A and B are shown apart, each in its own frame.
Chain A
């Protein structure tokens, strides 16, 4: 753990985040009432891919923030831009074809505005990421010990020997059995769950302030999924890092996330605490997601899956991007908003809840 971080206490303010403007912090404080000053803020993030053919608008104005010790889930179907937004934060999208705009502030400094070298130095000790498929995300020709130790060597100039020792410690910490014996093994020699632990060890090597986990358990067996999620939670408690969990698994979100942002067609359509969002969805899309999972107590009832397929990010419908699949969509008469034409802003509908639906109140209150 980095000594300078008082990360275990959510209220603790990192020393160099004093540059964060007060107004920003205040604005966000309403959205995150129970946590401290955000360590990572994303503001109006937009990513488009300009290749031959139509422009793909993968992320269209996403804003969120994450405080130390907090877990925020980004929930959405595949192809809704949730992974792309994470990769934009990590600075691992190829630009071009990707064009990124908005602001990504890490401890108050805008990563998009800084040089490539400064940005690189944040990856690892500042923000770190684990991927869905650890087998392809780990380099097949290097031992896991080498790949974990590379973090120390690249960022701290540690010697090979020392780096290897630290790798063993980390492997112990992520509960890989017989770490010392397995440190020189190659990724393909590990089971799926163990490989994901290697990924986690690597990502946590430099005690990052924020960890982005992109579908960390999707590729794993159900029993292993739970183990890996438990491990992530434990590690987060120990280190006080912020955790951004990207997933389409409602169960995982319900279990581990403090807050959730629901994404659809490259936009956040609803945010709030997990409890609130799950019990009283303020957006028809969220409600659709909830009612597409079978519940034990609802035995015998039909499920209500969302009809249709998510829109192509190259041709997002005008107005509310969800209106074509939305059971509540209205043609605006009597001065009421038209779902097919008016873009619903992400607005506060209840204290601490935001939703991008013209008719959230109807959902919430009746």
Chain B
């Protein structure tokens, strides 16, 4: 049996344990739709709170960008006033924020001080960050789950100990350092990977993606290992063997299927985290993604860009956490939507 199929009927999602025997089945109705709607409502204050927090911090920089933009030449007072008005720089904080949110709701992220729409910057940088995240998640799944499964199946083996030691090391080494060391060894010395930039297409994302994944990768490995070892000890695995199932079936259907639930949900949540957390990796490898854009915008005091991108990152984070909550309930029938 594969993963449960989700069928939407009359606004409520019904979960069938399997797509191939819907006839005569009495699917238990679980009001996923209402659950999702309620969760979405709950996320609104979080989204507003987080973006307001950033907005309020950036608000501390009134006027300065205009002067920065002008450079050494003094701006005519009239131009300065016009710019100030255009960016609502004289309004009180809350009014400014309300205007900003009003714009956001209409899909308007505002413009930077050069007049370029923030949405342009986002749509230019987002694909880069998404690619980087996708590569990282790919490594987490491929290496993390594989290593975790092998270690979990053979606890106490040489490989298991190797996994334990190496994951501890990876978690202990700051991303900054991992980045530089791999850049130096694999890029500068061995020349296997581009040292920086994204000029070589997908290939140039491999090393940064791996570095971005490293910490989560170690965690996925550990989690898979522990979870697998736990379910190997579970009573239902003993039952599966007593049923005379083939060893393969016992491991795949009755052990892996159960033990991967927390792993899958962790990886799901990590997508949301990585989309917003690539700032150091992007800085080390000089990758023009969202993290780099925020960093540049912070340096240049481009408030609208900073707030816009961080709001988007927060949205991703919240969105993927919501997805994970729903996914969790889909994967584990014991979880109920409340």
Is the CB of A90 closer than 8 A to any CB of chain B?
yes
Tell me, in angstroms, the Cα distance from A116 to B244 when the chains sit together.
Answer: 10
Q: Is B161 an interface residue (CB 8 A)?
A: no
B238 and A146 contacting across the interface, CB-CB below 8 Å = no
Residues on B with C-beta less than 8 A from A186 are 17, 333-334
What residues of chain A lie closer than 8 Å to B234, measured between beta carbons? Answer: 136
- Collect the chain B residues with CB atoms within 8 Å of residue A146's CB: 1, 17-18
Contacts of B236 in A (CB 8 A): 136-140
Chain B residues with CB under 8 Å of A136's CB are 234-236
Is A150 an interface residue when CB atoms closer than 8 A count as contact? yes
- Take A122-B244, A185-B28 as given contacts and tell me if A92 and B334 are in contact as well, using a CB distance cutoff of 8 Å: no
Judged by DSSP, the binding face of A is: helix
Flag if B243 contacts A150 (CB, 8 Å). Answer: yes
On whether the beta carbons of A188 and B334 are closer than 8 Å, the reply is: yes
Interface string of A142-186 (1 = CB under 8 A from B): 110010001100110000110010000000000000001111111
Residues of A within 8 A of B157 (CB): none
| Nearest chain A residue, comparing its CB with the CB of B24 | A180
**Interface range on chain A: under 10, 10 to 19, 20 to 34, or 35 or more?**
35 or more
In the assembled complex, the CB of A8 is this many whole angstroms from the nearest CB of chain B, namely 24
Chain A residues near B238 (CB-CB < 8 A): 87, 92, 131, 137
Closest to A91 in B: B241
**Known pairs A92-B238, A140-B236, A146-B1; A154 contacts B244 (CB<8 A):** yes
B108 on the A face (CB < 8 A): no
Chain A residues lying within 8 Å of B16, measured Cβ to Cβ, are 184
Asked whether any CB of chain B lies closer than 8 Å to the CB of A201, the reply is no
Q: Which residues of A contact B246 (CB under 8 A)?
A: 120, 154
| Chain B, 204-259, CB within 8 A of any chain A CB | 234-236, 238-247, 249, 253-254, 257-258
Kindly identify which residue among A133, A161, A202 contacts B243, using a CB–CB cutoff of 8 Å: A202
B249 engages A164 (CB within 8 Å): no
Pairwise interchain contact A142-B1, C-beta atoms closer than 8 A:
yes
- Alpha-carbon gap, A182 to B254, bound state (A): 21
B338 within 8 A of A: no
23 cross-chain CB contacts under 8 A: A87-B238, A92-B238, A120-B244, A120-B245, A122-B244, A124-B244, A125-B244, A128-B242, A129-B242, A136-B236, A137-B235, A141-B331, A146-B17, A150-B245, A154-B243, A154-B246, A154-B249, A160-B21, A180-B24, A182-B26, A186-B17, A186-B334, A188-B333
Q: Which residues of A contact B (CB under 8 A)?
A: 87, 90-92, 116, 120-125, 128-129, 131, 133, 136-143, 146, 150-151, 154-155, 160-161, 164, 180-186, 188-189, 199, 202
